[in-house]
Structure 1
Amino acid sequence: MSYLIDEVRTRWEFDSGLLLEQYVRWDGECTSFDETKKIMVYAQKHVVVSFKRVLVLDGGAEVVIPINETPHILPDRTGVLVVFNKVPSASCCPESPWFFNFPNNAAIYNGDGSLRFQLQSAHGKGSYIGAVHYAPEPNHPDALGVLVGSVDHNPEWLYLVDPNNSKLIPTGKWIRY
C-alpha cells in the first residue's frame, strides 16, 4: 500500500509547557519566516523537553519518525529523503534504520515510516552525501538531487536520486560554494 505524504511537521515542547510547530507541505507551502524566527528565539531561552518529526499523510494520519535531520518530501509524495549529519544528535536514535554514517549517510523512508533503502554514495569510503539540491535538471525536472563530496575536498558532485533505486544517478556537474 502506498501512503501519500501531505506534509512534514516538526514539534517542539518546551519546559514551560508550550508546544510550537513548524510545517512544510508537499506543494512547498511552509511555516512563515517570521513564525520560524519566533520559534528560534523562544528556543534560545527555554529548554526543549520533547522534539518530534511527524509525517502527516493524506487523510490526516500521523507517523512519527525518530530523526532530527530534515525529511524532504519526494516529488511523488510516497516517501521522504533524509541526509544524515556525521554524528547523530543526542535526541535521536543513533543506529540504523534511523541513522546512517558516512559515506552512505542518506536514506529514503516510505510514508508509513519504514525504510525503503539506504542511498549508496558513488564515491565510497572518504566521501559523504551532502546537501539536498533542488535545481531542476532538463531530463529530470522533478528529481531531487544530492551533493556528494570527499572529506576536506571541494567541489561536490551533483547526483540525482531515483526514489526506486539506492544507486545515485550521475549528472557530471559539480557545485562549488
Structure 2
Amino acid sequence: MTGRIAKVVLMKAGADGSLARWVIDGGDEPADVRARVLEGLRRPTRTVRTELDLDDGQVVRLPFKDFAYLLPDRSGVLAIFMHGSYTHPDGSDVFPYPNNAAIFNADGSLRFQLKVVDPRVHHIDCLHGGTLPEKFEGMLGVLVAYSENDTPAWAYAVNSEHPDLIDAMQWVRY
C-alpha cells in the first residue's frame, strides 16, 4: 500500500544543469522560505518533473511537469493543465478544455479526469485559495473561466471521490 503524500515537489533545472527540489505544497516552511532553493539556479530555469514525497519515504514521479495541489486527506493531488502544458506525442492535450484537470493518487496513477457539467465553462483556470460555502467543507475549490480570455471568477467545488465539478454558486473577484 502506498503512503499518504507529505509534499509535492517540482524539480527545477538551471541553465548550467544544476537541480533544485522546490516544495510547492506540504511541509512546514512558509512559501517564501521554500522558494529560496530557486535562488541558486542559473537562469533561465525549466521544470524537469513533478514528484510526490510520501510519508513512508517513497518518492513518486508524476507523468507531467506542472503544479499539483494536495487533496485535504493527502491521498492524492489535483492538477490543472493549461493548453499545451501536458500533451501526447502528437501535440494534442492529454486533458483538453473544458475538462483540463485531473486527480492523481499518491502512487501516481490517475484517479479520474474532472468533468465540467456546466456548458458555460470554457476551462478550469486555477485553484481557488479562498473559502467555499460551508456545505463544501473539506473540498478543494477551483476557479473557472467562461471564455478563452475571460478572467476566472466562478468557484466550483472538487469532490475527490467524484469527477463532476460542483457549482459552488460563488463569484470571486480575481
TM-score band by shorter chain is 0.7 to 0.9
Amino acid at match of 2:94: F
What TM-score, normalized by structure 2, do the two folds share?
A: 0.82
One of 154, 158, 170 as aligned partner of 1:157? 154
Structure 2 unaligned segments of length 5 or more: list them: none
Superposition pairs for residues 127-138 of structure 1, below 5 Å? Answer: 127-137=122-132, 138=134
> Offset at 1:155?
5.8
2:88 equivalent to 1:95: yes
Once structures 1 and 2 are overlaid, which stretch shifts more, 57-66 or 110-119? 57-66
Same amino acid, percent of matched pairs: 31
One of 82, 86, 93 as aligned partner of 1:85? 82
Match of 1:116 in 2: 111
What TM-score, normalized by structure 1, do the two folds share?
A: 0.81
> Offset at 1:168?
1.1
Q: Deviations over 1:93-137 (max 9, x none)?
A: 5139x8311110000000010100000113347610111113223
The alignment of Structure 1 onto Structure 2 pairs a total of residues equal to 169
C-alpha change, 1:39 and 1:119, in structure 2 (3 Å) is same
C-alpha change, 1:16 and 1:110, in structure 2 (3 Å) is same
Whether the 8 Å CA contact 1:73–1:81 is kept in 2: the answer is yes
**Poorly superposed stretches of 4+, deviation over 6 Å:** none
C-alpha change, 1:173 and 1:29, in structure 2 (3 Å) is same
Tell me the distance in 2 between the aligned counterparts of 1:31 and 1:155: 26
